[in-house]
Amino acid sequence: MIREIETKNPKKELSFKLKEARINRGWTQGYLAKITGLSRIYIIKLEAGQIPNPGIKNIKQLVYALGLKIEEL
């Protein structure tokens, strides 16, 4: 399990929460990409905080796949 880190950067917080949820489910970035229809490179960049505006459509796909609620992000 990933240790929780305090952050003031919302982009990094989103990235961290998505990565944490993925890892807690035992999923690879490739598996998450496959079930969401997003590319593995996109997932890698998103988790690294390199996607400044991921877009609500992509966030909804990730949230649904990970069994989260948007409010949790």
Looking at the domain assignment, is residue 1 inside a domain? no
Q: Is 53 left (phi over 0), alpha (psi -120 to 50) or beta?
A: beta
Average pLDDT over residues 37-50: 96
Please tell me the chain's helix, strand, coil percentages from 3-state DSSP, rounded to the nearest 5.
60, 0, 40
Q: Is residue 3 part of a domain?
A: no
Domain annotation covers residue 56: yes
- 18 part of a folded domain: yes
The domain of 61 spans: 10-72
Give the containing element (helix H, strand E) for 23.
helix 10-24
Q: Is residue 20 part of a domain?
A: yes
Of 63 and 4, more confident:
63
Q: How many domains does one find in the chain?
A: 1
Please indicate whether residue 9 or residue 18 has the higher confidence score (pLDDT): 18
Residue 27 lies in a domain: yes
For position 19, which CATH number holds?
A: 1.10.260.40
Residue 24 reports pLDDT greater than 50? yes
Return the pLDDT at 73: 78
pLDDT at position 6: 47
> What is the residue whose two structure tokens read 């991921």?
54
Out of 6-10, 34-38, 56-60, least confident range: 6-10
